[in-house]
Structure 1
């Protein structure tokens, strides 16, 4: 066991993961903090499960400590629970207003998994007219499977027929537990269909960066509506931009405009911009002073003392010399006439 953890430690030391990658890992661990659920197959149903996490994470995963916003929204719609619907929808809107698709770039475990798949060395497929058209498929999924089917037919369409988080975290993991293995057999063709989709997403994710996010994720589609008004995200200063095109070349989502609704705000464009025209909006809330650009990938954090400007001591004016008069006549004695 010590050798195993030693290898993990050496890997982290040698590869030096970026700050964004560390945040992604922490988010994935936090979403699935019910560790004992992976061993006993029991789904956690405590009070924390009433809280929605911002990213995509299956409620039915044995390790899930909180709820998936999409799953909770579909449940509220088909249950016609007005108060629950207001709470869930309000929570998702709040996430969108605060973070927008920064959630996709930093706080989604499914996004993290796809980025790791894309690191496998193979020929890669970049954006084409076909991928541009297919990118609107996720909006159809959002309307039809997330809203219409639950509302009109009481069927959580996305969770039941597509969601890879449920298949991977709630299904595949349960195969390793004897108590839950029998339940999966009862699903029959449905589990076969979802498992086939999962394999498709995994294979496609090796060749296309964030394949599921681009074409199938309704949560990313919803957060995309808030890209321009979200508190946090990337922004472009057009006065500083030199149109060098380095940001477009660095973008793995293949977008042509900084802050586009397809942008996941990973910060790659900030790292390569030579004119410093791209920065983080909302950073003034977290950083005092004139420096408003958040640290980018590979950049070391500066200590607080390095950010503070030294106070220059006030210059003391030289004292004026005191003029001493030496030509003052000595007092004369008064002479009286006798």
Structure 2
């Protein structure tokens, strides 16, 4: 398959950030700082903190992470969900898995709302309201996060085999969820990003107001759907250029036969 310039550039960025976010030697300096991608804090090589884990942690201790929320708002305002397409390690892994040549399955569109439920319930509500007798809660989304299972669960068990027995059913459940996501991604690219990811839900909400925008010359568009055929999140850009599903990967820009898609700054 021929790799276009945007695909190659994005591949370089994804590999670069995969290294940066897992540069073990710098973890002592930066690991308390969240970045706008899913890369589990418990990963032995992780350089930074996961924003979703950080938000839950502060809610569990009845506090508020101004740094994390501020970072998400700032990134969202400038580039929207672009970090999902150009920097997220777990998104990158999903795209690699999806290269397996099997038929594509398209679930119902309403399932995309699932990520908002995951953001609301296990990330926000459960850590606040579901507490034990001593008044403590836990980071519920972290308990089921497949990114954490891949980046932290497996490496930690390989380094410390005794952890597997200590975690028991929780480890089995988490690995089962990861296996389901891997299988789902084979048939539907970025399945987790589209239907589950709470960080994608937060950043996607900023797509309509972010400074970086996908632009469409509707008069040139012939609705050939080539944009959808290369889109990791399976959207038709001509229906909603500032869709919260768009990860600003720009793959559609290169393949558009009429060159009606572009990237530019939002006019306020």
Structure 1 length-normalised TM: 0.70
Distance apart, 1:238 and its partner CA:
2.9
Residue 31 (structure 1) aligns with: 21
Residue 147 (structure 1) aligns with: 124
Residue 3 (structure 2) aligns with: none
Residue 110 (structure 2) aligns with: 133
Answer yes or no: is the 8 Å Cα contact 1:171–1:184 preserved in 2. Answer: no
Answer yes or no: is the 8 Å Cα contact 1:54–1:69 preserved in 2. Answer: yes
Higher relative contact order (CA 8 A, sep 6+): 2
Pick from 202, 206, 211: which aligns with 2:182?
A: 202
Q: 1:116 to 1:249 in 2, by over 3 A?
A: closer
Supply the distance in 2 between the matched residues of 1:77 and 1:231 (Cα, whole angstroms). 30
Answer yes or no: is the 8 Å Cα contact 1:102–1:233 preserved in 2. Answer: no
Gaps of 5+ in 1: 1-15, 37-43, 285-338
Q: 1:279 to 1:31 in 2, by over 3 A?
A: same
Supply the distance in 1 between the matched residues of 2:12 and 2:266 (Cα, whole angstroms). 19
Distance apart, 1:152 and its partner CA:
2.0
Aligned to 2:24, the other structure's residue is in SS state: coil
Residue 234 (structure 1) aligns with: 214
Answer yes or no: is the 8 Å Cα contact 2:211–2:266 preserved in 1. Answer: no
Answer yes or no: is the 8 Å Cα contact 1:232–1:283 preserved in 2. Answer: yes
Distance apart, 1:149 and its partner CA:
1.1
Distance apart, 1:235 and its partner CA:
1.9
The yes-or-no answer on 1:18 pairing with 2:1 is no
Q: 1:17 to 1:89 in 2, by over 3 A?
A: closer
Per-residue Cα deviation, 1:103-148 (whole angstroms, up to 9, x for no partner): 11111000000000010111221x34x2x12111111010001111
Distance apart, 1:101 and its partner CA:
1.2
Residue 77 (structure 2) aligns with: 97
Per-residue Cα deviation, 1:150-206 (whole angstroms, up to 9, x for no partner): 12232211112x2112111111112322xx221232111111100000111111111
Supply the distance in 2 between the matched residues of 1:108 and 1:49 (Cα, whole angstroms). 16
Q: 1:140 to 1:234 in 2, by over 3 A?
A: same
Query: 1:211-250 maps to which residues of 2 (within 5 A)?
Result: 211-250=191-230
Residue 57 (structure 1) aligns with: 39
Pick from 164, 167, 188: which aligns with 2:146?
A: 164
Supply the distance in 2 between the matched residues of 1:17 and 1:176 (Cα, whole angstroms). 34
Aligned to 2:161, the other structure's residue is in SS state: helix
Pick from 157, 161, 176: which aligns with 2:158?
A: 176
Answer yes or no: is the 8 Å Cα contact 1:78–1:152 preserved in 2. Answer: no
Counting matched residue pairs gives 255
**Aligned-residue RMSD, C-alpha:** 2.4
Query: 1:100-115 maps to which residues of 2 (within 5 A)?
Result: 100-115=80-95
Answer yes or no: is the 8 Å Cα contact 1:145–1:157 preserved in 2. Answer: yes
Answer yes or no: is the 8 Å Cα contact 2:156–2:163 preserved in 1. Answer: no
Per-residue Cα deviation, 1:268-295 (whole angstroms, up to 9, x for no partner): 21012233221112399xxxxxxxxxxx
Aligned to 1:235, the other structure's residue is in SS state: strand
